[in-house]
């Protein structure tokens, strides 16, 4: 099992089919453009878990800081390949992300999850996460 940050376009292209399972609205070109911009502008990193050169899970992460609670790491997207679910890959990647967050001085790991993703919510609760806020949005 290998966990790594994508560092080039070839690795992003390899990760795209997995990310597209969660974000099917993104074409490959749009994905590459958007990830490149997010990496440059907001410190986004795509981390992958691979077994025998096959990506089993991936997550987009970035760190930020809030006045009320300090530095945190946010998980943008956490996905396990549909054919590889319930084999512990997502759990292993989540644990790795938490350790990485500690290493870079974060006080907390956060994520936003759509209200319809009840299975994901059960997973996050089982990992010790708590429901601590309501997330509000307005389309402009």
- Specify the length of the chain in residues: 140
| Residue-wise pLDDT tens digits, 35-93 | 999 999 999 999 999 999 999 999 999 999 989 889 999 999 899 999 998 899 999 99
d(Cα 49, Cα 90) in Å, to the nearest integer?
9
Question: Of the candidates 54, 128, 45, which has an alpha carbon nearest to the alpha carbon of residue 89?
Answer: 54
| Whole-model pTM over 0.75 | yes
> Which domains does the chain possess?
2-111 (3.40.630.30)
- Residue whose token pair is 């080039």: 8
| Among candidate residues 58, 71, 69, 60, the one with its CA nearest the CA of residue 104 | 71
Partners of residue 118 on adjacent β-strands: none
Which of 65, 60, 135 minimizes the C-alpha distance to 93?
A: 60
d(CA 132, CA 140) in angstroms, rounded, equals 26
């Amino acid at each position: 099992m290998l966990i790594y940050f994508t560092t080039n376009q070839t690795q992003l292209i390899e990760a795209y089919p997995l990310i597209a399972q969660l974000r099917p609205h993104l074409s490959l070109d749009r994905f590459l453009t958007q990830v490149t911009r997010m990496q440059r502008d907001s410190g986004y990193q795509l981390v992958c878990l691979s077994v025998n050169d096959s990506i089993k899970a991936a997550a987009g992460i970035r760190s930020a800081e809030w006045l009320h609670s300090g530095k945190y790491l946010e998980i943008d997207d956490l996905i396990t390949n549909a054919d590889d679910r319930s084999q512990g890959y997502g759990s292993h990647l989540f644990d790795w992300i938490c350790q990485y967050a500690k290493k870079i001085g974060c006080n907390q790991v956060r994520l936003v999850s759509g209200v319809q993703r009840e299975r994901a919510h059960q997973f996050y609760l089982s990992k010790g996460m708590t429901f601590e806020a309501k997330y509000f949005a307005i389309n402009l």
